Amino acid sequence: MCGIVGLLLKRPALRPALGELMLPMFIGMTERGPDSGGLAVYGDRAASGERRFSLYAGESAVDWDAVAADVRTRFGQSTIEINGNHAIVEVNAAPEAMAQWIAEAHPDIALLSAGRTMDLYKDIGAPGEIAERYGFGRLRGTHVVGHTRMATESAVTPAHAHPFTFGDDFCLVHNGSLSNPNNVRRELEHQGVSFVTDNDTEAACRYLGHRLNEGDDLETAVTRGFSVLDGFYTLLIGTRDTLAIVRDPFACKPAIVAETDDYVAISSEYRSLAALPGVESARLFEPRPRQLYQWRVQ
Amino acid sequence: MNAPTHPLHHITREESATYDRATLDYIYRAAATGLYEIRGLGAKRHLPHFDDLTFLGASLSRYPLEGYREKCATRTVLGTRFAEKPLELAIPVTIAGMSFGALSANVKESLGRAATAMGTSTTTGDGGMTSEERRSSKTLIYQCLPSRYGFKPDDVRRADAIEIVIGQGAKPGGGGMLLGQKINPRVAAMRTLPEGVDQRSASRHPDWTGPDDLMIKIKEMREITDWQKPIFVKIGATRVFNDVKLAVHAGADVVVVDGMQGGTAATQLAFIEHVGIPTLAAIRQAVDALDDLDMRGKVQLIVSGGIRTGADAAKALALGADAVSIGQGMLMALGCNHPTYRMGDHDVSAVADYHALGTAPGFCHHCHTGRCPVGVTTQDPVLEQRLTPDIGARRVKNYLKTIVMELTMIARACGKSDVHHLEREDLVALTVEAAAMARMPLAGTNWIPGAGV
Amino acid sequence: MNFDLASQSVRELNAYLHGAAPDASVTVTSPNGAHNVAVGVNVPVNIDIQGHVGYYAAGMNQLAKIDIHGNAGPGLAEGMCSGEVHVRGFASVAAGAAAHGGLLVIDGDASLRCGISMKGIDIVVGGSVGDYSAFMAQAGHLVVCGDAGDALGDSLYEAVIYVKGSVASLGADAQEQAMTDDDHARLTALLQRAGFAHESHAFRRVGSARTLYHWNADAEQEY
């Protein structure tokens, strides 16, 4: 199954070191999730009016410069940051428009995320390799949601790695196994929500994301989720300005929180938090079941 | 005026396939008791199975081995991945986990002695390890089940391997069951239960859920045993492809896959007949999972659930198993469903005792009652005497010998000097279902239904 | 004898403990949440762990006295048969799971399923316990100085629970019962061994109603 990690920096002065602080946490979850991993990082990123789109080419050989040119043609002024099989395009475009265009014009590229403050990376491989590939240790920002994966029901492909995203700046990672993801997915498809995979986490992500779209706040959406999402889950959620965690009523999948004046750090296991500065005097606790815990960026 | 009579007066008997006799019995029983039926053994309905496969023996394009001077090796090693002391068995047929409690102490000793004589292993069940079994069985695999009845560190240390049981073929997703009539003082003490009460069993392990936690649990067992002993993981056959992959990721040395034909001493009928997939479908998925991870030969696969004969064993090996495990067949070798039992030097009829249970020899599945007419699945001190270890050990040994003889005979006929050289191309299917499930061509054709889907 | 898990492996530590002399004293530093610390010990050694441990610390313990100056992950002292385990912080889920004997003391809170499937262990919790504690508990005692969550003692056999604080809800077949003199004596002794200064009279007893021992179709059992 998986390891989850989350980190929110309360103190602005620490934000340039987000990646440095998070990296040992991510690597610390390698045993729980040896075969793929991913990370969503939040912070002031896009110039006003613009959106950032995280793109992923997997094993395909992609000419990113050509892609950048196509984006300019289609959507206007844009920038691109390239990193191997991953790129971030910043442009003024709506998420649905970009999604549709990518699917038609560049079907071998996956659109991982859309948002104003969130970038997203996911790939196959050991967490250490992935972190190295994308320079996780150098990331800056306010908060991060990460995941390492041991594949369960769906294939080990990058699309099935977490985090899953929805709309703008919403992402979710999951440790556990939902027992009714197919019905949840079908119901959402009837309501016009499209899916990329048959992964149970995507079902949870799109369910909550859809509820937020419909006007629920996160607490309401999660509460509704208790009667809709069946099975075992610890969910770690990121939004533009929030890091949140919730566990199902059985709380079989682990989670531990370390909180100081400087940060809130969350992981599946304490050993991945052990290297954080000040953790010896942190408030350590395990989230109770059936309760949403949220922390907001100041 | 007289009422007309039908010229051909007779009783019409138009049976419903949907509401057949068995279903009528089911509904009458539910209406009478308000309780699901509980019984022993495995799925009784007809399912695609090894009988639907047949071997392509040697002829002009393939040459056989002679049955006498040309040896066919059967040595089997289990647990080579991480353990310092893998199990070295003389034959690829082991005795499956069955509990003391479900079975009598005499039976456990019989199984142990026979296994030792034949150079193979036995396995404890849900309830712990008895000294009879440890003493009599040279190679003993110790099960760690969700209930943890009688699961103790001293026994972990004196076992030869640990088998972490996630489920069994008879009831994947369900827990163990033992009714009060079989919880005698000894069983009660071993399981820390009050005497005579119905045992309720957990379906999940108490201290781990999911493969990520299982990995840590397996490590714990390794640490406790100083990394000496192989750790097996046993699953009931459902989502076999995924489960075998996860078991390998979690660190298993050996994976045991138990199909729906697998037996139990007691569980709900609904589980036995309606949960889990046939062994034939399971074994293909399990082998595919190992191939996918390039773990064939590194993580061993044991298959169980309706393995009855040397032909079954040969087919399982050809399909990719490293060994098979037999439970129900062993009980039948001991006398399960036999009309007589042995007392001294003569045979005594047990038919009246079968009838007292509402059944007859050949139809019985009443292990859960503890009134086994031939003294196998019982704790009753009188009934127990109907199967003594001397007789039991000889019968089981003979059964194992026969199986191995058939297995090597078939292997030789396919040109193999080692039973582990049997391969799936030695087999073809006789029915479309079996061809689809085992993904093997229908005899006389190249057709594999569903291939490429 | 000192083991520093920052530079030595858990495997080395456990190998040493398995062959240690009786009454040896071992200190373990920098556990940093490691799993399987001090599992399968079978010698009366004193083990002092300076920090937090991960899963299954003190698993299947026999005879040893293990003191954890920190928090413990899931399955603390699971399957323990004898000896003593003391956690100064909190314990995660399934503390004392399926354990046959010995004493487990948790100064802080224990999470869900504390004492699940317990088979004779005595568990004394200074704080509160989470939902489903003492689920299918067969034998032994669970003492809760704080509160208990939902479904306390669900499917209880013969284990007995003593609770001082509130109980969110009782599980199937669990019921509050009168405290006897025996209960008071036993509870007082347990609290003393744990080092908690509570009076036994402040506790209530929860035990099995024993209605699930045999199937009864007309009894509307929550089976």
Distance to chain C for A89, nearest Cα, Å: 40
Task: Report the alpha-carbon distance of residue A145 to residue A113 in Å, rounded.
Answer: 13
CB contact under 8 A, C32 and A274: yes
Q: Are residues A60 and A25 in the same domain?
A: no
Query: Of A251, A271, A288, which has the smallest distance from its Cβ to C32's Cβ?
Result: A271
Q: Are residues C89 and C191 in the same domain?
A: no
Q: Are residues C100 and C116 in the same domain?
A: no
C102: left (phi over 0), alpha (psi -120 to 50) or beta: left
**Is pLDDT larger for residue A156 or for residue A259?**
A259
A222's CB contacts (< 8 A; 6+ apart) are A208, A235, A246, A292
Q: Taking a C-beta distance cutoff of 8 angstroms, is the pair C67, C48 a contact?
A: yes
Amino acid, single-letter form, for residue B88: E
A11: left (phi over 0), alpha (psi -120 to 50) or beta: beta
Whether the upstream peptide bond of residue A163 has omega within 30° of 0, thus cis, is yes
Look at residue A159 and tell me whether its pLDDT is greater than 80. Answer: no
Q: Give the residue from chain B lying closest to A176, CA to CA.
A: B210
How much is the mean pLDDT over chain B? Answer: 94
Domain that holds residue A193: 2-45+118-296
A258 touches chain B (CB under 8 A): no
Q: Are residues A195 and A100 in the same domain?
A: no
Distance to chain A for B289, nearest Cα, Å: 12
Instruction: For chain B, give the number of residues.
Output: 453
Q: In the listed set C88, C108, C128, which residue is the last one of a domain according to the structure? A: C108
Q: How far is CA A9 from CA A241, A294, C31, in A?
A: 11, 13, 26
CB contact under 8 A, B208 and C155: no
Looking at B48-199, list the stretches that DSSP marks H as alpha helix, in order from N- to C-terminal side: 105-118, 131-136, 153-158, 185-191
DSSP line for B296-356: BTTBEEEEESS--SHHHHHHHHHHT-SEEEESHHHHHHHTTT-SEEEETTEEEE-HHHHHH
Digit-coded pLDDT (tens) for A81-102: 999 999 999 999 999 899 999 9
B129's CB contacts (< 8 A; 6+ apart) are B140, B142, B150, B152, B155, B158, B159
CB contact under 8 A, B210 and A153: no
| pLDDT band per the 50, 70, 90 thresholds, residue A158 | low
**pLDDT value, residue B452:** 72
Helix (H, G, I), strand (E, B) or coil at A80: strand
Q: Are residues A211 and A281 in the same domain?
A: yes
Task: Report the alpha-carbon distance of residue B288 to residue B232 in Å, rounded.
Answer: 19
Amino acid, single-letter form, for residue B439: R
Say which DSSP state C8 is in.
S
Q: What is the ipTM of this complex?
A: 0.95
Mean pLDDT of A190-210: 93
A214's CB contacts (< 8 A; 6+ apart) are none
Q: C69 contacts in A (CB within 8 Å)?
A: none
Q: Are residues C14 and C91 in the same domain?
A: yes
Q: How far is CA B125 from CA B100, B146, B174, in A?
A: 7, 11, 15
Q: Are residues A95 and A122 in the same domain?
A: no
Q: In the listed set A97, A116, A135, which residue is the last one of a domain according to the structure? A: A116
C58 lies in some domain: yes
C216 lies in some domain: no
Q: Are residues C161 and C77 in the same domain?
A: no
- Going residue by residue through chain B (453 aa), what tens digit of pLDDT does each one get? 555 666 678 888 899 999 999 899 999 999 998 888 889 999 999 999 999 999 999 998 889 998 877 889 999 999 999 999 999 999 999 999 999 888 999 999 999 999 999 999 999 999 899 998 999 999 999 999 999 999 999 999 999 999 999 999 999 998 777 778 888 899 899 999 999 888 888 899 999 999 999 999 999 999 999 999 999 999 999 999 999 999 999 999 999 999 999 999 888 999 999 999 999 999 999 999 999 999 999 999 999 999 999 999 999 999 999 999 999 999 999 999 999 999 999 999 999 999 999 999 999 999 988 999 999 999 899 999 999 999 999 999 999 999 999 999 999 999 999 999 999 999 999 999 999 999 999 999 999 998 876
Q: Which domains does chain B have, with CATH numbers?
A: 50-331+387-438 (3.20.20.70)
Q: Are residues A23 and A168 in the same domain?
A: yes
C200 lies in some domain: yes
Amino acid, single-letter form, for residue A213: N
> How many domains does chain C divide into?
2
Mean pLDDT of A204-227: 96
Residues of A annotated as catalytic are: 2
Distance to chain A for C91, nearest Cα, Å: 9
Q: Are residues A69 and A38 in the same domain?
A: no
Digit-coded pLDDT (tens) for B195-249: 988 888 889 999 999 999 999 999 999 999 999 999 999 999 999 999 999 999 9
Tally the C-alpha atoms within 13 A of residue B286's C-alpha that lie toward its C-beta: 33
Out of A264-273, B159-168, B172-181, C166-175, which region has the weakest mean confidence (pLDDT)?
B172-181
pTM of the model: 0.94
Query: Of A249, A250, A274, which has the smallest distance from its Cβ to C33's Cβ?
Result: A274
Say which DSSP state A246 is in.
E
CB contact under 8 A, A284 and C89: yes
Q: Are residues A238 and A91 in the same domain?
A: no
Per residue, what are the HEC states of A247-273?
ECCCCCCCCEEEECCCEEEEECCHHHC
The closest alpha carbon to C24, from C43, C42, C45, belongs to: C45
The total of other beta-carbon atoms located within 10 Å of residue A296's CB is: 14
**Is pLDDT larger for residue B62 or for residue A220?**
A220
The closest alpha carbon to B402, from B68, B75, B91, belongs to: B91
Q: Which chains touch C (3 or more CB pairs under 8 A)?
A: A, B
Q: Are residues C80 and C153 in the same domain?
A: no
CATH for A56: 3.30.70
Looking at A76-119, list the stretches that DSSP marks H as alpha helix, in order from N- to C-terminal side: 95-105
CB contact under 8 A, A288 and C130: yes
Query: Of B180, B192, B206, which has the smallest distance from its Cβ to C116's Cβ?
Result: B206
Task: Report the alpha-carbon distance of residue A243 to residue A253 in Å, rounded.
Answer: 18
Q: Are residues C168 and C85 in the same domain?
A: no
How much is the mean pLDDT over chain A? Answer: 93
Helix (H, G, I), strand (E, B) or coil at B412: helix
**pLDDT value, residue C219:** 60
Q: B217 contacts in A (CB within 8 Å)?
A: none
CB contact under 8 A, B226 and C79: no
CB contact under 8 A, C74 and B213: yes
Query: Of B204, B211, B239, which has the smallest distance from its Cβ to A150's Cβ?
Result: B211
Q: Are residues A219 and A247 in the same domain?
A: yes
Domain that holds residue C95: 1-108
**pLDDT value, residue B257:** 98
Q: Are residues A79 and A186 in the same domain?
A: no
Q: Are residues C118 and C168 in the same domain?
A: yes
CB contact under 8 A, B212 and A153: no
Q: B239 contacts in A (CB within 8 Å)?
A: 153
**pLDDT value, residue C192:** 98
Amino acid, single-letter form, for residue B5: T
Chain B residues touching chain C at CB-CB below 8 Å: 33-35, 147-148, 151-154, 156-157, 180, 192-194, 197-198, 200, 202, 206-208, 213, 216-217, 219-220, 223-227
CB–CB contacts below 8 A, B to C: 107
Q: A265 contacts in C (CB within 8 Å)?
A: none
Q: In the listed set A74, A92, A116, which residue is the last one of a domain according to the structure? A: A116
What is the percent of chain C where pLDDT is above 90? 94
Look at residue A154 and tell me whether its pLDDT is greater than 60. Answer: no
Q: In the listed set C92, C108, C124, which residue is the last one of a domain according to the structure? A: C108
Task: Report the alpha-carbon distance of residue B65 to residue B58 in Å, rounded.
Answer: 9
